[in-house]
Structures are given as structure tokens and as C-alpha cells.
């Protein structure tokens, strides 16, 4: 591999193995190997002059590389769609790209062990040249933000351990005492001219995000009292620090989850996405508060959408990106009147935006049913968007199944939506086996875009003859606060009735076989699939429960988010409603189980401890239900390694085929894979 420094400004032609001349019409079918080889854009940053876009591309490892996560590369293109230029490459990953205020340099995070053993901030000239080390801290820099005048760099890092602490650990005194004397990540300020660094916050703040005021005098930051993940989810607060004096003050009172934030151009107002209360599952409402402090105003009361990003256009207008149903939308919010004007709604699905306020243009990360996330450019004047990159040209020769948004009536007459993907060779009037692919959260949302990934191989299932339904049951995002709270204190109740109603609707429409229904999902989708295989076992021929909850009581004592699950979704702790929590546990209904269940878990999962899957697997075996347990070393709450992804997809399709299509009959290939 060539070193990081040698590959800057190399123009990369998008060449792949395609048919000579592109004139022979032979279509490929999407395979697991193709899925794990897909590239995906993760972040965009539009230049100060609005003419160029820097972006981060996620690039998977190849089969001959050591196991590990995908690489992150920095690329550059212009808004007119010129051939992208690559600024970094494997085996070094670079991320969090941003522009200097004069547009002459790109800043980013990366780790170059020959220069610093930890991830640091680097910068490189846009015109070409080697990257320069900016921060030289003795620990990992997790986030950074340049001041608007380009003279200062604020960054977040955990303080280095004291000599006494290091000596104690070397002597074997490396025990852990939870909730005792946490070492909190601090906010640090570096003078870019002199290199001088000083800390702006004390150990009472674990700093999570940072936002500069336009006058360079103040930094707003989101923080928690400890490093705990639960704190990050539900107990964050917004504070400000004066850059000169170091004086820290709370900005305003908030409750529950917090999201994107930004100062108005004149620095007089501060906007943020947040929850309406502690039980709101998503930081989905737009709030504005005076920068001097006060009571935040909610601009989205009753809105049936979930805000996901914001950007000020001028002192009176905010561009708001939202998930709305199964699509995405962009609105212009007038701060004075509270009016919202829609400028975009539909597909492609916009994941994030970087706005150039002066020209009312933006760069976007967006995906569609035909491709994963790519770079788009768009106008906030008319909502028109143009796709600029194509990092998966091989998909041009892949035949993909049709997908569309469907509706049905759920419990209590609620309108429920979902994304339906047809079998690749669908014939009208014919019934097909149905595979549910259920999102997690439960506040996640399935959208009408590119939904195929190793853990949710939707198009792969469709290519193998399955109709695939991804239901947005009550509790999902994209429909506003009331909808996302619709399952509270009733987990596994009416929200699962919404899913069953979706199955019934497809049966009634003559599209699927009622006796060929299977289910699968990860995290909360894994809980639903375990719930399906036990409480509602008579409805399902096969199930795949991955990283799923199976025992609400033991889960609450082993997860890294016990407060979030209790306060946000149950509105109580398990010991306050012990019987309800136990009754809504799949294990409670284990004697009803008859559905063959594939159980999957990563062994480094802190969100849902592997003991949850072990309990389900053991209980199914005791009750003589066909089951297999897949435990993946090193994997967190999902899958990150290529070999594991391929193995999982192969196991999944063969499990479904054996028990849904072949009714549990012996199948040589399936048995070779499954056993």
C-alpha cells in the first residue's frame, strides 16, 4: 500500500469490471458479495464559496485484508459534477472533514502512528500537498470545530492519565469501579498561530459536541455529567463558555434527547433539535432560544415529521431536514412567524445536508432505491437535486426488485406505513413467501430508498423469491412526537399488532401466502422477531432474532442504556411494573414457541448483552424447537467484519428457505451451511 502522503489529489476514474463496450445486455443478480463490497458516502461539507464539496466515503475491506471495519476516505468534487478527486486512501482512515474559512485547506481527523499514536486533527492544502499535524495532544481527539475567523481550534479529548494512575495500572491495580471518579472528556482550545493549548471546561462536564458563535467569543457545547452512554441519550445539557474568561453558564433548560445545534448568523439566537420531554424517543423538534438564554420555543408542535438536521439561512430563516413518513423533506422555517414552507419532499432520501446560505444551495448525502448514499447538490429555492457521484457503477448492471410505500390500518384504526419490496421476478396474481425485516429502535424508520445492507439484505431476499415488508409500526420515527410515543408502556402490544395487520393486508390483497411468513431484525427488530417466535409463534414459519431483547428484566441490568429504555419507552422501571415487563418478554411465552429460530449476537455488544440471545437459545432447545445460535467474536451491536457479514447472509437465506419454502425438509446445501 502507498503511504497516506503520496495519494493526495489523485484523480480516480470510476473503473469496474463491466462488459466490454457496455453494449451486451446481461443483468446480474445482487449477491451477498456485492452487498459487502458497496461504497457509501457518509458526510458532505460544502466550501465557503459554494463551488466545491468535500466528502467522506466509506470503503469496505477486501477479502484478502485483515478483519476490521470499513475504511473512510476523503474526496473532493465540485457542484457541477466534475470527476471527484481522492485526498486520502486505505490503509489510513480519515473522517470529519471541514473547510478552513478561506477555503484553502481541508481539516479532518485521522491517525498516522508515525506522527502521533492517537487520532488527531490534520489539515492539507486544497491545491495539493502533504497533510500537516494540527493538534499534538497526548490522547485521542474525538471532535473539533474551527472558529469562524480561522484563528482557533476547539477540540474534545479525554485528559491523559496521571503518572500515579499509570503506575498503579502497571502494578495490576487496574480494577474498575463504575460511577466512581469518572475522567470526563474536556473542551480544549488551541491557538492555531502559536500552538498554545488550554482547557476550557473542568471535570464536571463530559463534553459531547461544540458550536462556535459567529463573533468567535463563545462556544456552546452539549455535555453530560459522566461518560455513560445513558447520560448521552437522555441527560444532556447545553452550556456556553466564554473563550477569554473561561466562564461557563447554562444556556437553557432542556429535557431528554438533544440533536443538531447552531447559532444564527448574527449570534443573537441559538437553534437546536431536541425532545419535548424525557419520554420523547427522538430529538425531533426544532427549538430556538435567545443566545443569552431563556425559554426555548418549539416550532414543530403537532408536526407529523421528525427533524434530523438544521442550518440557518439568515437571521430569520432556518432550513430544516426531516424524516417524513417513508421519505425525507426539507422545509424553510420563518423564526418570527413560525411558518414552515416545504421546498422538498420525496426521494432520494436525504440523510444530511451542508448548506451554503448565501446562494441558498446545499450539498447532501442521499440514497435511492437504485443506489446507496451518494453526493447530491440541491437548491433551497426550488428543492431540485442533482446526483454528483457514482461510487457503485457496478449496480448499473444489477437488476433490482421493485419497491414502494404501502399503507394499511393498524390497531385502533391507526394509519400504518411500510416499504414493500417485490420478489425480483414478481408475477401479478401469484402469492409469495413474505419476509418481514423489522427496524430497531423502536424509534427507527424504514424509508423508500436504499435499504439493503448486510444486516438487512432486502434486495438479496427479493432476488431469492421473497416479498419483503419493512413496517413502520407505531413508535417509529418520521411521523412526529405523538406517533413515536404511541407504543409507550405497551411494548410488544399494539405496535406488534400493527405489524400483524400489515401481514394480513398483504394476505388479503392476494400477494403473500399466510402459511409462508418469516421475520427477522436486529436490536428492537430482534426483540420483535423473538416475540414473533414465542408469543405469536403460530403466525410464523421461521424467525431470525439478532441482538434482540428476550428478557426485559435481565436486559435492564446488563444494557448500557437502562434509563433510556425505561424513561423513554416504558415510562417506568421494570420493578415498578414487574409483571408487565415479564409478560412482554419473549421468554415468558417460551412454552408457546414452535417457530424455528436462528439466534444471532455479537460478543462485544454493550447495548444488548449476548446473554439475551443465550437465554432464548437455551429455552428454545429445552422446548425442542429447532434453533441455531451464531455468536460473532469482536462484533458490537451489529456486524462490522466482511467474513461475518457474508456468513450471516448465507445462514439467513438458508434458514428461511429450509423452513419457509421447504417446510423443514432436509436440504443438502442448507444443512452444510447451517450446521
- State the average pLDDT over residues 244-269: 97
- State the average pLDDT over residues 611-631: 98
Question: Residues 267, 314: contact at Cβ < 8 Å?
Answer: no
Three-class SS state of 347: coil
Q: How confident is the model at residue 666 (pLDDT cuts 50, 70, 90)?
A: low
Residue 13 has pLDDT above 90, yes or no: no
Q: Is-cis flag, bond preceding 267, omega within 30?
A: no
In the chain, the percentage of residues whose pLDDT exceeds 70 is 95
pLDDT of residue 12: 36
Domains detected in the chain? 401-674 (3.40.50.1820)
Q: How far is CA 363 from CA 44, 97, 389, 523, in A?
A: 6, 14, 12, 32
Q: How far is CA 582 from CA 279, 316, 466, 491, in A?
A: 21, 51, 34, 11
pLDDT of residue 35: 98
Stronger pLDDT, 671 or 564, i.e. the higher one: 564
Give residue-wise pLDDT tens across range 332-342: 999 999 999 99
pLDDT of residue 544: 98
- State the average pLDDT over residues 77-106: 94
pLDDT of residue 151: 97
Give residue-wise pLDDT tens across range 589-601: 999 999 999 999 9
- State the average pLDDT over residues 231-257: 96
Residue 1 has pLDDT above 70, yes or no: no
Helix (H) or strand (E) holding 555: helix 552-558
- State the average pLDDT over residues 467-478: 98
Give residue-wise pLDDT tens across range 38-79: 999 999 999 999 999 999 999 999 999 999 999 999 999 999
pLDDT of residue 174: 87
Distance separating alpha carbons of residues 545 and 616, to the nearest angstrom: 9
Question: Residues 547, 526: contact at Cβ < 8 Å?
Answer: yes
Out of 16-20, 205-209, 385-389, 575-579, least confident range: 16-20
Task: Name residues whose C-beta falls within 8 Å of residue 175's C-beta, 6 or more positions apart in sequence.
Answer: none
Q: How confident is the model at residue 14 (pLDDT cuts 50, 70, 90)?
A: very low
Residue 10 has pLDDT above 50, yes or no: no
Give residue-wise pLDDT tens across range 284-296: 999 999 999 999 9
Give residue-wise pLDDT tens across range 497-517: 999 999 999 999 999 999 999
pLDDT of residue 27: 78
pLDDT of residue 200: 97
Residue 149 has pLDDT above 80, yes or no: yes
pLDDT of residue 341: 96
Give residue-wise pLDDT tens across range 535-561: 999 999 999 999 999 999 999 999 999
Q: How confident is the model at residue 9 (pLDDT cuts 50, 70, 90)?
A: very low
pLDDT of residue 178: 84
Distance separating alpha carbons of residues 55 and 375, to the nearest angstrom: 8
pLDDT of residue 169: 87
Residue 26 has pLDDT above 70, yes or no: no
Q: If DSSP states are collapsed to H, E and C, what string results for 18-86?
A: CCHHHCCCCCEECCHHHHHCCCEEEEEEECCCCCEEEEEEEECCCCCCCCCCCEEEEEEEECCCCCCEE
Residue 164 has pLDDT above 60, yes or no: yes
Three-class SS state of 351: strand
Q: How confident is the model at residue 233 (pLDDT cuts 50, 70, 90)?
A: very high
pTM to 2 decimal places? 0.92
What's the whole-number average pLDDT of the chain?
93
**Residue 389 is placed in which grid cell?**
457521484
Reported as half-sphere exposure (CB side, CA atoms, 13 A), residue 237 has a value of 15
Q: How confident is the model at residue 273 (pLDDT cuts 50, 70, 90)?
A: very high
Amino acid at each position: 500500500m502507498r503511504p497516506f502522503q503520496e495519494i493526495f489529489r489523485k484523480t480516480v476514474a470510476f473503473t469496474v469490471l463491466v462488459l466490454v463496450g457496455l453494449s451486451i445486455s446481461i443483468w446480474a443478480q445482487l449477491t451477498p458479495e456485492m452487498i459487502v463490497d458497496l461504497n457509501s458516502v457518509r458526510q458532505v461539507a460544502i466550501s465557503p464559496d459554494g463551488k466545491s464539496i468535500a466528502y467522506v466515503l466509506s470503503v469496505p475491506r477486501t477479502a484478502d485484508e485483515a478483519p476490521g471495519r470499513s475504511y473512510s476516505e476523503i474526496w473532493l468534487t465540485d457542484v457541477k459534477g466534475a470527476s471527484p478527486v481522492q485526498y486520502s486512501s486505505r490503509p489510513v482512515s480519515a473522517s470529519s472533514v471541514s473547510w478552513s474559512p478561506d477555503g484553502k485547506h481541508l481539516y479532518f481527523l485521522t491517525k498516522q502512528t508515525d506522527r502521533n499514536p492517537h487520532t488527531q486533527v490534520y489539515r492539507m492544502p486544497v491545491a495539493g500537498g502533504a497533510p500537516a499535524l494540527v493538534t499534538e495532544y497526548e490522547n485521542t481527539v474525538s471532535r473539533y470545530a474551527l472558529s469562524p475567523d480561522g484563528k482557533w481550534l476547539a477540540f474534545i479529548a479525554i485528559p491523559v492519565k496521571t503518572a500515579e494512575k499509570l503506575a498503579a495500572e502497571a502494578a495490576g491495580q487496574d480494577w474498575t469501579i463504575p460511577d466512581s471518579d469518572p475522567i470526563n472528556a474536556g473542551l480544549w482550545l488551541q491557538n492555531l498561530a502559536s500552538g498554545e493549548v488550554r482547557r476550557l471546561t473542568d471535570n464536571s462536564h463530559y463534553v459531547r459536541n461544540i458550536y462556535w458563535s459567529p463573533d468567535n467569543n463563545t462556544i456552546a457545547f452539549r455535555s453530560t455529567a459522566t461518560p455513560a452512554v445513558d447520560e448521552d441519550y437522555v441527560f444532556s445539557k447545553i452550556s456556553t463558555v466564554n473563550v477569554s474568561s473561561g466562564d461557563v453558564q447554562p444556556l437553557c433548560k432542556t429535557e431528554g434527547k438533544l440533536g443538531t445545534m447552531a447559532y444564527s448568523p448574527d449570534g443573537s439566537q441559538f437553534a437546536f433539535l431536541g425532545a419535548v420531554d424525557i419520554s420523547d424517543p427522538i430529538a425531533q423538534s426544532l427549538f430556538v432560544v435567545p443566545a443569552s438564554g431563556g425559554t426555548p420555543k418549539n416550532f414543530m408542535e403537532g408536526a407529523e415529521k421528525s427533524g434530523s438536521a438544521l442550518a440557518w439561512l439568515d437571521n430569520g430563516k432556518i432550513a430544516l431536514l426531516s424524516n417524513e413518513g417513508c421519505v425525507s423533506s426539507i422545509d424553510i422555517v420563518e423564526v418570527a412567524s413560525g411558518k414552515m414552507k416545504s421546498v422538498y419532499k420525496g426521494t432520494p432520501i436525504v440523510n444530511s445536508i451542508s448548506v451554503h446560505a448565501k446562494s441558498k444551495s446545499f450539498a447532501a448525502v442521499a440514497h435511492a432505491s437504485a443506489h446507496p448514499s451518494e453526493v447530491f447538490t440541491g437548491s433551497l429555492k426550488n428543492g431540485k437535486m442533482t446526483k454528483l457521484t457514482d461510487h457503485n457503477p457496478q449496480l448499473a448492471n444489477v437488476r433490482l426488485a421493485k419497491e414502494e410505500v404501502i399503507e394499511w390500518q393498524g390497531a385502533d384504526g391507526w394509519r400504518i406505513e411500510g416499504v414493500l419490496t417485490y420478489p425480483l421476478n414478481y408475477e401479478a396474481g401469484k402469492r409469495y413467501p413474505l419476509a418481514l425485516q423489522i427496524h430497531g429502535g423502536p424509534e427507527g424508520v424504514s424509508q423508500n430508498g436504499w435499504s439493503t445492507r448486510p444486516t438487512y439484505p432486502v434486495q438479496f431476499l427479493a432476488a431469492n423469491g421473497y416479498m419483503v415488508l419493512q413496517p413502520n409500526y407505531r413508535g417509529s420515527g418520521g411521523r412526529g412526537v405523538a406517533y413515536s410515543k404511541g407504543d409507550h408502556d405497551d411494548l410488544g402490544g399494539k405496535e406488534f399488532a400493527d405489524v400483524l395487520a400489515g401481514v394480513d393486508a398483504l394476505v388479503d390483497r392476494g400477494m403473500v401466502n399466510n402459511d409462508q411468513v418469516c421475520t427477522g431484525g436486529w436490536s428492537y427488530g430482534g426483540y420483535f422477531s423473538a416475540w414473533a417466535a414465542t408469543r405469536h409463534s403460530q403466525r410464523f414459519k421461521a424467525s431470525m432474532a439478532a441482538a434482540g431483547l428476550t428478557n426485559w428484566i435481565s436486559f435492564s441490568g446488563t444494557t448500557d442504556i437502562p434509563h433510556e429504555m425505561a424513561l423513554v419507552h416504558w415510562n417506568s422501571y421494570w420493578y415498578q411494573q414487574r409483571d408487565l415487563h415479564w409478560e412482554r418478554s419473549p421468554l415468558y411465552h417460551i412454552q408457546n414457541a414452535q417457530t424455528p429460530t436462528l439466534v444471532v449476537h455479537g460478543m462485544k455488544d454493550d447495548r444488548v448483552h449476548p446473554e439475551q440471545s443465550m437465554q432464548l437459545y437455551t429455552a428454545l432447545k429445552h422446548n425442542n424447537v429447532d434453533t441455531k445460535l451464531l455468536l460473532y467474536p469482536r462484533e458490537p451491536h451489529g456486524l462490522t467484519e466482511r467474513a461475518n457479514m457474508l456468513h450471516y447472509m448465507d445462514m439467513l437465506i438458508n434458514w428461511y428457505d429450509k423452513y419457509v419454502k421447504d417446510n423443514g425438509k432436509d436440504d443438502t446445501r442448507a444443512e452444510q451451511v447451517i450446521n
